[in-house]
Amino acid sequence: MLTRIAVFVSGGGTNLQAILNEESHGRIRSGKVVLVVSTNEHAGALKRAEYFGVKTCVVNPKECASEAEYNQKLFKVLDENNVNLIVLAGYLHILDNEFVRRYPQAIINIHPSLIPAFCGKGYYGLKVHEEVLKRGVKVTGATVHFVNEIPDGGEIIMQRAVAIRNSDTPEILQRRVMEKVEWVILPKAVELVSRSILLGKKCY
């Protein structure tokens, strides 16, 4: 028995790739990615999923009349695939309270900073790294956390830091955080939470 995982994406899917790589190498043993859901039909993440033979679907919130309609479409595809863990990996849509409450302690997200710094509404993608450099902090990193009704406000599962260099640009820093932190801790957190779901225990 394995935890059945859906990964929500919007873009290129590098974090999805990290998860699928670790799963293929047997380092994610308690869960299996069974579905990739994208907000964007042109997302590179869809091709990555197809390469690994993972089922994909596109549910675009802009094509829905309301958030409630968007939720219902997501609920339908998640139920059809018996999903019990949702991983947000570069997913650029804030899930509403109705959605979050339906999956308590079963949605996790990767955020490119050391929460509680540089997080919350408006902090995503390159914007985070731009703000980190503007503030002149000496370390940054990434955080995997549970998703609740507050953006980036759920319990922290795992964090890792990297030092900031004088030569860093937002783009260089973003790449280093991805390579040294995000692609490492997200698969580890997926395994940890997948195992906790199977055992019915908290992992934090």
Residues carrying an active site annotation: 111
Largest CA distance in the chain: 50
Both tokens of 172, joined, read 């260089």
CA distance 150 to 35: 25
Contact 3, 56 (CB under 8 A): no
